[in-house]
Amino acid sequence: MKLLRYGAPGAERPGLLDGTGQIRDLSGHVDDIAGATLDPATLARLAVLDETALPRVSGTPRLGPCVADVGKFICIGLNYSDHAAESGMPVPDEPVIFMKASSAITGPNDTVLIPRGSDKTDWEVELGVVIGRRAKYVPEAEALDYVAGYCVCHDVSERAFQIERSGQWTKGKSCDTFGPIGPWLVTRDEIRDPQSLSLWLTVNGERVQDGSTATMVFGVAALVSYLSQFMSLMPGDIISTGTPPGVGLGMKPPRYLKPGDLVELGIEGLGIQRQLFAADA
C-alpha cells in the first residue's frame, strides 16, 4: 500500500493511493497515518480493503507529511562511503547518529524556507524508514519485522550551522521545513529489498545526486537493530538513513541553495518530492 495524508497543514486526512494513481479517503477506517495505524495488524486490515469502495478524493489536494505525530526523527550521518569521502571525513566504524527536530517535518511539495543568517543551505536525498511497532534490543535478523514501510526524506541541512558553529549537528538540520517526508509511506511488503533502491536529486533540473542504497555502509536492518540497543524505537519514529554523494558541500567550489531554486528528488518505488526554496521571513 501507499499510505498518505492530504489536506491543509494541520488538517490532513488519511488516505491511500490506489492502483490508478487516485487518492482514496481512509478516514472511515483510521484516524490518521500515525502510531497504532502502523501496527502490523492494522496495516493487514487496511491491505484487504476494497480500494474501489473507498471515497475518491477529487482534484489535486496538497500532500502533507506521510506520517503524523512523529516522536523521533533519527538521522544517520556519513552512511555512504563516497559521501564521507566528498565531505572529507572517514567512514565511521559505527553509525553516526543525530536527531532532526520533529518541528522540521513538512509535506513533500511544500516550500522550504532558507533560515535567517543562512548562506550554506544544502540538499540530501535519503531513504526514510518508518517504524511500525516498539523495537528494543532487536536482533539484526529480525529487524525488518519492526518496519512499517519506507518513504522519501529530504534531509535539508545548513552547513554553517551544522559544522562551523560548534556543538552538535542537530541545529544545522532542524530549521523549520528542513524535513520534507513523503509523498507516501510505502508499506514494507511492496519493497522487496531496501538495499537495492536507486535515489536521485536535481537542482533546477540538473542531476546532482544519483546513487543506490546498495552502497550504504550500514543497511536498514543493521540500523534498526543498532538504534534499538540504545533507545526504544516507537511506532511512527523515522530513521533517515544517510545520503549518497553529490551534495553542495562536496562540490568544488561548494554550491548552496538560494531563494527561487527548485529541488526535485525521488527514490525508486517511493515517489517524488518537489520543493521551491524561499527566504524565511
Please state, as a whole number, how many other Cβ atoms lie within 10 Å of the Cβ of residue 41.
9
- Are residues 43 and 79 part of one domain? no
For residue 8, tell me if it sits in a domain. yes
Give a yes or no: residue 59 inside a domain.
Answer: no
Query: For residue 166, what pLDDT is reported?
Result: 77
Peptide bond into 194 cis (omega under 30): no
* Same-domain pairing of 150 and 15: no
Q: Which own/partner contact pairs does 249-253 have at CB distance under 8 Å and 24+ positions apart?
A: 249/86, 249/87, 249/120, 249/122, 249/159, 250/83, 250/86, 250/87
Give the model's pLDDT for residue 85. 75
Q: Are residues 105 and 11 in the same domain?
A: no
Residue 217 falls within a domain, yes or no? yes
Q: Residue 63 domain-assigned?
A: no
Element spanning 86, H or E = helix 81-86
The verdict on 196 and 86 lying in the same domain is yes
C-alpha span between 145 and 39 (Å, rounded): 11
Residues 142 and 25 reside in one and the same domain = no
Residuewise pLDDT in 10s, the chain (281 residues): 999 999 999 999 999 999 999 999 999 999 999 999 999 999 999 999 999 999 999 999 999 999 999 999 999 998 998 777 777 778 889 999 999 999 999 999 999 999 999 999 999 999 999 999 999 999 999 999 999 999 999 999 999 999 888 777 899 999 999 999 999 999 999 999 999 999 999 999 999 999 999 999 999 999 999 999 999 999 999 999 999 999 999 999 999 999 999 999 999 999 999 999 999 98
Closest CA to 49 of 187, 173, 206: 187
For residues 176, 105, 97, 81, the Cα torsion angle rounded to the nearest 10 degrees is -100
CATH of the domain at 197: 3.90.850.10
Q: Report pLDDT for 163.
A: 87
Q: What's the domain range around 18?
A: 2-53
Contacts of 58 (CB under 8 A, 6+ apart): none
DSSP 97-142: EEE--GGGEE-TTSPEEEPTT-S-EE--EEEEEEE-S-BSS--GGG
Is 62 among the domain residues? no
- My answer on whether 42 and 96 are in the same domain is no
SS3 content of the chain, % helix, strand, coil (to 5): 20, 30, 45
Domain count, the chain: 2
CB 186 within 8 A of CB 148: no
Is the domain of 100 the same as that of 227?
Answer: yes
- Residue 88: strand, helix, or coil: coil
Domain check: are 40 and 159 in the same one?
A: no
The C-alpha atoms of residue 238 and residue 147 are separated, in whole angstroms, by: 10
Cα separation, 204 vs 276, whole angstroms = 10
Instruction: Please give the model's pTM, rounded to 2 decimal places.
Output: 0.96
Peptide bond into 254 cis (omega under 30): no
Contact 164, 241 (CB under 8 A): no
C-alpha cell at 253: 567550489
| Residues 12 and 91 reside in one and the same domain | no
Please give the DSSP secondary-structure letter assigned to residue 7.
S
- 137 and 260 inside one domain: yes
Identify whether 67 is part of a domain: no
Q: Are residues 161 and 129 in the same domain?
A: yes
Residue 61 is assigned to a structural domain of this protein: no
Q: Which three cell numbers stand for residue 150?
A: 519506507
Q: How far apart are CA 158 and CA 62, in angstroms?
A: 26
Q: Give yes or no: residues 148 and 12 share one domain.
A: no
Name 93's Cβ contacts closer than 8 Å, sequence gap at least 6: none
**Residue 60, in any domain of the structure:** no
